[in-house]
Chain A
Amino acid sequence: MLLKLFLFFLKIGFISFGGGYAVIPMIQHQMSSQSWLTDSEFQEIVTLASMGPGSIATNSATLIGFHIAGIPGAIASTAGIIIPSLIIIVLIAAFFYKFHNNQWVKASFYGLRPIIVALIAYAAIHLGLQSGKAFAPSWATIMTFVICGASAFALIKYKVHPFTVIVAAGIAGIILF
């Protein structure tokens, strides 16, 4: 199991463009197709992962590894998702220092960037649909939308720090639910 976790997150690490949010759908796809976690367990993990510093993808890897195989699992998964960064950055620093100015690299990113946007948006919609339980107009659903809307507004319009938003949403949750 440790090897499986390590290899899965190694694969994720090599394609985790976009700082981490974009791989959430990929991790979720694996979790449900391999029955490693249920959707609600996964959602809990992503929520906890966003409460720590660092990238959500790496934190999710740590927590998934821990959930499935304890501390050794956490170490295997975290190492798996980080080693690709190490390899790629060392290769770039050693051989292709100016790689980001290469025409073909730029061309690939031209197509990749909009897809990253779609993947991140999909991650948000997918998580949203689960916690909204498909738009049933209950108090909990409406309050989820209210907190989500207010948080998005604070983050985008007023550039409030993510940590402040998370603490405020936690307090709002205690009051409203």
Chain B
Amino acid sequence: MLQQLRMLFPLFWTFFRIGPATFGGGYAMISLIEHETVTKRRWLDDQELSDLVSIAGSAPGGVGVNAAAFIGYRMAGITGAVISIIGITLPTFLIILGLSFLYMNLDGNPKVAAAMKGIQAAVIALILSAAYRMAKTSLFDLSTVIIAIATLVVLLFTEINPIYAILSGLLIGVVNITVKMLLGLKVRTEKETPQKREDAVYLEYYI
């Protein structure tokens, strides 16, 4: 118990420092987490790290927050998970509010408005590249390609609440695999993973 309590500050501090470096989303920071928690502090071994990456990547929520919760829980129970999540979120929270204050004070400045327009275009590219990377690893047979195209068409041309898309995805997956198993077809639920460890860690295929 006392040992768990003693873990709380190192957990908080480690994730507090990782937080601001999580620019550009999840996977960039996995190597940072590996360095801090496997190489430096030996909180996890390599096998645990690889479980961590697939769990943090497939559970809902940001990869960084999930990884922090997982490591925090393993090291110091629920309190550890809460402390780690606060640690990794707090810097981002403060930075983003600061940016927002700055922007409000500069609102109406034509240079700032022009820069924002440029950044807006880059954000669209950022999102497109995320879609491209995920498509590369998750569209690997006819069914997955058809599901993706059909979903995009439905989203573009109807007013449907996108939440239903997520819910139907879970259902479609189970039905599809069940039908294939009943028909005796070969079932493949994932793209074959490369055996090299570095590749496996950075594979943007978990969701």
Identify which of B127, B133, B165 contacts A124 (C-beta below 8 A): B127
B207 touches A52 (CB 8 A): no
A140 touches B117 (CB 8 A): yes
Chain A contact residue count (CB 8 A cutoff):
104
19 A-B pairs with C-beta separation under 8 A: A15-B163, A29-B162, A57-B62, A85-B60, A86-B69, A86-B81, A107-B176, A108-B173, A117-B131, A117-B135, A144-B117, A149-B125, A152-B132, A163-B24, A165-B126, A169-B118, A169-B119, A176-B118, A177-B113
Given contacts A103-B189, A114-B145, A173-B115, 7 further A-B contacts (CB under 8 A): A25-B162, A93-B73, A100-B51, A113-B138, A120-B130, A155-B129, A156-B132
Identify which of B24, B62, B190 contacts A85 (C-beta below 8 A): B62
A171 touches B118 (CB 8 A): yes
**SS class of chain A's interface: helix, strand, loop or mixed?**
helix
| Chain B residues proximal to chain A, CB less than 8 Å | 19-26, 28, 51, 54-66, 69-70, 73-74, 78, 81-82, 85, 89, 91-93, 95-97, 99-100, 103, 111, 113-135, 138-139, 144-145, 147-149, 151-152, 155-156, 161-163, 165-178, 189-190, 205, 207
Identify which of A19, A89, A171 contacts B115 (C-beta below 8 A): A171
| Min C-beta distance of A110 to chain B, whole Å | 4
B173 touches A111 (CB 8 A): yes
A88 touches B59 (CB 8 A): yes
Which residue of A has the minimal Cβ distance to B96?
A: A52
Residues from chain A with a CB closer than 8 A to the CB of B133 are 156
| Min C-beta distance of B63 to chain A, whole Å | 6
| Min C-beta distance of A169 to chain B, whole Å | 3
Residues from chain B with a CB closer than 8 A to the CB of A43 are 120
Identify which of B73, B97, B99, B175 contacts A90 (C-beta below 8 A): B73
Residues from chain A with a CB closer than 8 A to the CB of B125 are 147-152, 155, 165
Identify which of B21, B115, B129, B205 contacts A152 (C-beta below 8 A): B129
